[in-house]
Amino acid sequence: MRIALYSHDSVGLGHVRRNLALAHALSNQLPGLTGRPVTGILITGTALAPAFQAPEGWDWVLLPGIEKSPEGYRARNLALPMHDLVSLRARLLQAVIAGFGPHLVVVDRHATGVHGELETALRRARSAGPVRVVLGLREVLDSPDAAFTEWARVGGPRMVKALFDAIWVYGDPAVHDPVAAGEIPFSLRKLIRYTGYLAAGRPSVSGTSSMPGPYFMTTVGGGSDGHALASVAVAAHVPAGLGHLIVAGPQMPAEQLKDLQRQAGPGVKVVPAVDDIVFHIRHAAAVVSMGGYNTVCEIMSTNVPALIVPRTQARAEQRIRAASLANAGYLEQHEIGTLTPEILAGWLASRLGTTVDRRRAVLDGLIRVPQLAAELLQPLFRANERDAAAHAKGSAGRVAV
């Protein structure tokens, strides 16, 4: 069984980390559900991706990188105009998907990729067939107006229905329903399957802490826009007997990282990354974090108290996520504009020794996704087996004659 997972990866590591969690879940569970071994490719636009461990039988395909600028997308490294870069990425995507011949393609977040780079590859895969194509969406997209503009840019519901067999929404509609909120067109509702958060079952492998004793933790995702929160955190008072681990993210600019490390006082450790973020969150006394999907899922898989300080630039996604989860009682939130080291220290002091019960939330998306994949793929494989049997019978008959 061949699976291709695509993420465009212009900002941060959220898209590729989500696909990586899916790859592990599909690789571990689909063979038992279908009786077929799994091999796959993770198509990504970030050169940092191969630092993460892919499942056995999987490999990475790196596209030339893109990034966001005030004027829109642009090449991350190559000295190419965006039109030429999109054309290059599109040709690479066509070659990879046609050559690999996946039975299942899962597209993360952007239905046709950046500037439609994925559309031709998907159309050709569907015509070559047989293949199932899924659009995977985090539970919060953006404000309804911004989301509507994006759907229109990819061709609207008609285009999505032509290219995709299903839409998997990685969330719990009891916490936030993107259809009811106006983020996903109502006409696509029949394609939607809610998986629950991709939380429980996230792989934790190291079992080794970066801190010598008890600690609380601040993490800012990829780190490209996390300096403001990390600066408040590094100045917060640390209670006696407790350390403070600040994970600045591998994409934080070097000067910002050095600035944080210069400010760090006794018991405060600032690192660009840790080997096992799930392990460190699980063993922290409390967590302060931005509101990216993956970090929130990792927090939701624990009972550790958490304060979410959402990104305020660009998308409204993190603010909507933080508010919906805070309203459900699963975490707390605070705006970066009014957060001070004193407020952060006070929150920490009041939460030490407490836990949060998050068991009411639907957190088993990494179990549900392989089940949904098996449901999509089994009819495809049965049809293949019937065709093969008919072909074999016909061949035997011709030989007998």
Q: What is the pLDDT of residue 220?
A: 97
- Statement to judge: residues 9 and 51 lie in one domain: yes
Amino acid letter for position 218: T
- Statement to judge: residues 129 and 185 lie in one domain: yes
Q: Which residues are CB-neighbours of 149 under 8 A, at least 6 positions away? A: none
- Statement to judge: residues 181 and 32 lie in one domain: yes
Residue 399 located in a structural domain: no
Q: What is the pLDDT of residue 209?
A: 87
Distance CA 167, CA 197 (A): 14
Q: Which residues are CB-neighbours of 266 under 8 A, at least 6 positions away? A: 238
Residue 401 located in a structural domain: no
Task: Report the candidate in 186, 217, 380, 209 with the shortest Cα–Cα distance to residue 298.
Answer: 217
Please count the other Cβ atoms lying within 10 Å of the Cβ belonging to residue 245.
21
Q: What is the pLDDT of residue 386?
A: 67
Low-confidence ranges of the chain (pLDDT < 70): 204-206, 384-401
How many domains does the chain divide into?
A: 2
Query: In this predicted model, what pLDDT tens digit does every residue of 11-24 receive, in sequence order?
Result: 888 999 999 999 99
Distance CA 340, CA 112 (A): 41
- Statement to judge: residues 193 and 91 lie in one domain: yes
Residue 357 located in a structural domain: no
Per residue in 56-85, is it b (16+ CB within 10 Å) or e — as a string? eebebbbbbbbbeeeeebbbbeeeeebeeb
For residue 316, the Cα-to-chain-centroid distance in whole angstroms is 17
- Statement to judge: residues 221 and 336 lie in one domain: yes
Residue 172 located in a structural domain: yes
Residue 119 located in a structural domain: yes
- Statement to judge: residues 239 and 287 lie in one domain: yes
Q: How many residues does the chain have?
A: 401
- Statement to judge: residues 167 and 93 lie in one domain: yes
Return the HEC string of 66-94. EEEECCEEEECCCCCCHHHHHHHHHHHHH
- Statement to judge: residues 236 and 127 lie in one domain: no
Residue 381 located in a structural domain: yes
CB burial of residue 193 (10 Å; 0-12, 13-18, 19+): middle
Domain that holds residue 376: 2-198+363-391
* H or E segment to which residue 385 belongs: helix 365-400
- Statement to judge: residues 376 and 296 lie in one domain: no
Q: What is the pLDDT of residue 205?
A: 67
Q: What is the pLDDT of residue 401?
A: 43
Per residue in 9-47, is it b (16+ CB within 10 Å) or e — as a string? bbbbbbbbbbbbbbbbbbbbbbeeebeeebebbbbbbbe
Residue 113 located in a structural domain: yes
- Statement to judge: residues 113 and 255 lie in one domain: no
What CATH number does residue 296 fall under? 3.40.50.2000
Q: Tokens 């035997």, residue?
A: 396
Q: Tokens 């892919």, residue?
A: 54
Distance CA 37, CA 348 (A): 47
- Statement to judge: residues 277 and 167 lie in one domain: no
pTM, entire model: 0.93
Residue 123 located in a structural domain: yes
- Statement to judge: residues 193 and 249 lie in one domain: no
Distance CA 138, CA 140 (A): 6
Q: What is the pLDDT of residue 344?
A: 98
Cα-Cα-Cα-Cα torsion 375, 110, 10, 68, nearest 10 degrees, comes to -170
Q: What is the pLDDT of residue 241?
A: 94
Confirm if 98 and 105 have CB atoms less than 8 A apart: no
